[in-house]
Amino acid sequence: MFIVLEGIDGSGKTTQAARLGEWLSGLLGRERVLVTKEPGGWLGGDAVRRLALGGGLSSVWGEFFLFMMDRCEHVSGVVMPALEKGMCVICDRYTPSTLAYQVLSNPLIGSEAAEYMTGMSEVIGLPRPDCACLLDIDADTARRRLETRGKLNSFDARGRDYFERVRAAYDALIKRFPDEWIKVDASEDENTVFGGLKRGMERMFGTRLGGHAT
Ligand code: TYD
């Protein structure tokens, strides 16, 4: 199983990815679950992460290819080996992040670029997630959370309108591929959000969760 968590900055993905990992480890066995992340979830990925988040890139296509490069290394070194062993992989961000943050949210890039990227991902052999979960939250609430945590990166300086466009881009992806997506209201407290995520997983995977999901 390949599960991807998505959402704008401050949506709580990292916390929920860890909780999902714990829950699935309880159902499937700890050795059968891997929680990983993009950008930077591979050996050598820290340097790419620093470059991507440091704010030094001037071209959106530079950003695009850097995230794609990071993904290629992450997939070949971490994700594929785990999937080939039959493990369940939970990935904090994946191709939908690039589609939402670099492509669909950018008014200067036509939507045909999304088709191009999807085609390119297939040619490269990037595995398609079995399920993508959107932790949905409005840009103002997410921003308040990030400020409270004091955890801002260069993307966070892009402001409210950018993040509302990213959120709308996620919605467009859900409309296009409704069978592959779960959407959870992420503005609630951590336990309530996790409850929604669990219910979504149970609906999506049913007996594949070991037949004893609760
Ligand atoms: P993330 O690791 O989720 O942030 P955090 O520091 O909270 O753990 O993501 C880092 C940033 O990278 C986030 O602002 C979104 C951005 N990003 C893209 O713009 N495109 C991508 O393809 C990916 C994977 C991330």
Handedness of CA 95, 99, 102, 103 (dihedral sign): positive
CA–CA dist 134, 96 (Å, integer)? 10
Tell me, in angstroms, the distance from the centre of ligand 1 to residue 211's CA. 34
Tell me, in angstroms, the distance from the centre of ligand 1 to residue 32's CA. 26
Q: Looking at ligand 1, which atom is closest to the CA of residue 52?
A: 12
Indicate the number of domains in the chain: 1
Q: Looking at ligand 1, which atom is closest to the CA of residue 94?
A: 24
Burial class (CB in 10 A: 0-12, 13-18, 19+), 138: middle
- Asked if residue 16 lies in contact with residue 102, where contact means CB atoms within 8 angstroms, the answer is no
In this prediction, residue 214 carries a pLDDT of 45
In this prediction, residue 89 carries a pLDDT of 98
162 lines ligand 1 (CB under 6 A): no
In this prediction, residue 213 carries a pLDDT of 47
Q: Looking at ligand 1, which atom is closest to the CA of residue 38?
A: 24
192 in a structural domain: yes
56 in a structural domain: yes
Domain enclosing residue 53, as ranges: 2-209
pLDDT, averaged in runs of 10, over the chain (214 residues): 97 97 96 98 95 90 95 98 98 97 90 88 96 97 88 79 96 95 97 97 85 50
174 in a structural domain: yes
214 in a structural domain: no
Tell me, in angstroms, the distance from the centre of ligand 1 to residue 66's CA. 12
In this prediction, residue 206 carries a pLDDT of 84
In this prediction, residue 152 carries a pLDDT of 74
Tell me, in angstroms, the distance from the centre of ligand 1 to residue 46's CA. 13
204 in a structural domain: yes
Bridge partners of 90, per DSSP, are 3, 35
CATH number at residue 102: 3.40.50.300
